[in-house]
Amino acid sequence: MAATENTAPNTPERDHPSRRLRLLEARLSAAPTTPPEMRVMSVAKQSAPPTPTPTDEVEDVRSFSSDSLSRPPTPAPSTNNNNVRRKYAPAPKAKMKKRKRQSPIFKSGRLDEFFKPVQDSPTRKKDPVAERSDSPQQDDYAYLREMIERLKTDNEMLKQAAGDAESLLAQNEDLRTQVEIEIPTLREQLEERDAELRKEREGVQRTKEELRSVLVSLARHERQEAARKACEDGERLGKPVVQRARTSIHEAWQDGYEWKHIQKDLVSIVDEKDSLEKRRKELMKRRSQLQKKESNQEVEMPPPPPVLKTNVPFEDTVEYCQEMEDVCRVQMQILKKQESVLQDTRQRLFKERDILVRELRRQSDERDSRFSQFLIMNDRYQLLNLLGRGGFSEVFKAYDLRDGRYVACKIHQLASNWKEEKKRSFIRHAMREYEIHKSLKHPRVVQLIDIFEIDENTFCTVLEYCEGSDLDSYLRAHKTLPEKEARSIIAQVFSGLLYLAEQQRRIIHYDLKPGNILVHKGEVQITDFGLSKIMNEESSTVDGMELTSQGAGTMWYLPPECFDTGGNARISVKVDVWSAGVILFQMLYGRKPFGHDQTQEKMFREKTVQHQELQFPAKPQVSDLAKDFMKKCLTRKASVRPDVRQTLMHPFLRKR
């Protein structure tokens, strides 16, 4: 009965024509514009249909029949018992068709649960329009208007994007046209620029060739000047000559004219001194005889009256003999002064002769070198003149054509008759020097610039060029140095050693000697790291690292621990402290403190460094502060010997 009352055909709200018209307009307006998927979404989001669903076919047809359009509106149904419709117009009791059993989903009318869309992933951006509430009171018309507004906004954006695209296409066409117009001009400008670059490159090449020509001309002139000076010095000081003695040929030294003059003057002075000494003795003898004779005459005869004068010549008097003795003494002093001057000149000539011998040896090595023809190394370094030659290396003065500065090229050569093991050992030492030296940048350490291979048995390291000479040549020329100058040099050496000792991987130079210290106008630089050692944290302890190269280095400058042949021999940066002490001793006294007149083999055999006592010569005079400094540096026990930083705190180096 309740169902019959709910489905009455004369309901005014259902049969009202304006309502049916609104439904038709809504369906017609939504049909062509809303896609199927959107309609499904609308149904899914809608919790209940906007109009009641008909309960049977009769009511559905009757609700949209034509006669119902002229029927007056029916008042809304009421649940009150005094219902006018039930009282005055009861519904006909028609036979009800049996309806099919519907699914619980359709029975409850919850179509939104059936057509519910798949949930989006949490990372996917959600549509604010699609997230509208599922409230049954939500108006479908508002939702569609919202969708329409959104589509209009998207449409406007697409139109704007299309307009921008058309504008960009137009600009692209304009740019393409402009580029096509400008390409020939740009190509001409590029060709002109290439031509200018070629001209500049050719100009740079010509300048480089001219610079190279000037450098080679200067180097040739320096060689000629050095050869001329050596020839003049050879005439003055002497030169080596080849002499034949029976079946053997040996080299001897022939003195020059200045040396011969000095020798002649010295012989003359010695002869003069002998003659003066002989005459002085004769005068003394004669004076004693005359005094004896006068004493005898005084005894035999009384003295003459003071008025009378004797007829004895003055040369036969005692007074004359005394005067001549004084003259001989003065002449002897003059001769001694002349002899002293000649001895000083002789010492100077000795030094000049040593320098000449080194220069002649250098020129001979330069002529014999296969790199003396002014070659260009690595297409960058123009070799000039030979600076020196070591055991297996040659050092040339060169010019860096790229950076425009003088450098020193150290060319390492491996002998062709060496065994492979010896070659590998030499290359290993050279690479160790390169690895140690390339990272060092300090004013007291010569900087390594470059390294490259020349051939399979030769490679070259490029070093910073330093004017002047090494300390060994400087000491040969000056013999000894004043204490103030020696202190300045050794303080700079310790400054470089402190830099090496404070590296992250501490460095032991191990071959510190005057030949590896460069001096120019009082400034010092340390070079030659061929025997240097790196103290790794893994292999080193508090007392140093293991010594694996007994016998290497220059023995006059090595401490006692370097001569230890046992398996527990250890070294540290204190090795360089000992070497610096030996160098200071040599600068002040002109001789080495240990084994000065011995060969290295004899020193190693007799263990001179381990047993010989340190003694300071009486001359020249050296301050007690300097002696104390050298004693501390030359402490035999390495554990007691101060390290580099402690040595720098000594008052001798801090004295100003």
More confident site: 70 or 190: 190
For residue 91, the model assigns a pLDDT of: 52
The letter for the amino acid at 194 is D
The band of 44, judged by pLDDT with boundaries at 50, 70 and 90, is: very low
Q: Quote the tokens at residue 140.
A: 């479908």
Give the pLDDT band (50/70/90) at residue 322: confident
Looking at residue 33, its pLDDT comes to: 46
Half-sphere exposure of 117 (CA within 13 A, CB side): 18
pLDDT band at residue 508 under the 50/70/90 scheme? confident
The torsion region of residue 129 among left (phi > 0), alpha (psi -120 to 50) and beta comes to alpha
The position carrying tokens 């008025």 is 307
Confidence of residue 88 (pLDDT cuts 50, 70, 90): very low
Which pLDDT score, from 0 to 100, does residue 133 have? 47
Query: What's the mean pLDDT in 584-603?
Result: 87
Give the pLDDT of residue 386.
93
Instruction: Between 595 and 430, name the one with better pLDDT.
Output: 595
Residue 397, annotated ligand binder? no
Q: Angle at the Cα of 183 (from 178 to 188), degrees rounded to 5?
A: 140
Grade residue 94 by pLDDT with cuts at 50, 70 and 90: low
Query: Would residue 131 be called left, alpha or beta, if left means φ above 0 and alpha means ψ between -120 and 50 degrees?
Result: alpha
Q: Residue 434 — pLDDT band, cuts 50, 70, 90?
A: confident
Q: How far is it, in rounded angstroms, from Cα 314 to Cα 290?
A: 12
Mind telling me the catalytic residues? 511
Instruction: Inform me whether the pLDDT recorded for 188 exceeds 80.
Output: yes
pLDDT band at 479 (very low <50, low <70, confident <90, very high): confident
Instruction: State pLDDT tens for residues 328-383.
Output: 889 889 998 999 999 888 888 888 888 888 899 999 999 999 899 999 998 899 99
Per-residue pLDDT, averaged over 229-234, amounts to: 89
Lowest average pLDDT, out of 100-109, 134-143, 505-514, 562-571, goes to 100-109
pLDDT at 583 over 90: yes
| pLDDT value of position 347 | 85
Q: Which tens digit of pLDDT belongs to each residue from 237-247?
A: 888 887 777 77
Give the integer Cα–Cα distance in Å for 172 and 567. Answer: 82
Q: 634 falls in which pLDDT band (50, 70, 90)?
A: very high
Predicted local confidence at residue 105, as pLDDT: 43
For 194, residues 6+ apart whose C-beta sits below 8 A from its C-beta are none
pTM, entire model: 0.62
Instruction: Report pLDDT for 374.
Output: 92
Tens digit of each residue's pLDDT (9 = 90 or more) over 6-15: 444 444 444 4
Retrieve residue 328's tokens: 């001989």
For the cut 70, the answer to whether the pLDDT of residue 520 exceeds it is yes
Which residue from 377, 541, 405 is spatially nearest to 466, judged by alpha carbons? 405
Q: What 8-state DSSP symbol labels residue 614?
A: P
Structure tokens at 315: 């040369």
User: pLDDT (tens digit, 9 = 90+) per residue, 539-574?
Assistant: 444 455 555 455 566 888 888 888 776 656 677 888
Q: Which amino acid is at 468?
A: G
Q: Exposed, middle or buried by CB within 10 Å (0-12, 13-18, 19+), for 407?
A: buried
Mean pLDDT of the chain, nearest integer: 76
> For position 52, what pLDDT does the model report?
46
Nearest to 437 by CA among 338, 507, 514, 340: 507
Range of lowest pLDDT (20-24, 485-489, 546-550, 622-626): 546-550
Mean pLDDT along residues 397-412? 92
Per-residue confidence (pLDDT) for residue 652, from 0 to 100: 92
Evaluate if residue 63 carries a pLDDT over 90: no
What does DSSP assign to residue 402? T
For the record, the structure tokens of 477 come out as: 């020329």
Band of pLDDT at residue 103, cut at 50, 70 and 90: very low
**pLDDT higher than 80, residue 619:** yes
pLDDT digits (tens, 9 = 90+) for 263-293: 888 889 888 888 888 888 888 888 888 777 7
Q: Above pLDDT 90, what percent of the chain?
A: 22
pLDDT of residue 633: 93
Task: Considering only residues 71 and 456, tell me which one the structure prediction assigns the higher pLDDT.
Answer: 456
The pLDDT value given to residue 482: 92
- Cα-Cα-Cα-Cα dihedral of 380, 384, 388, 393, to 10°? 40
The pLDDT, as a whole number, for residue 294 is 72
Q: What percent of the chain has a predicted confidence (pLDDT) above 70?
A: 72
**Predicted local distance difference test score (pLDDT) of residue 66:** 41
Q: Which two tokens stand for residue 188?
A: 């001409």
How sure is the predictor about 308, in pLDDT bands with cuts at 50, 70 and 90?
A: very low
pLDDT of residue 293: 77
What is each CA distance from 430 to 170, 372, 411, 650, in whole angstroms?
A: 67, 23, 11, 35
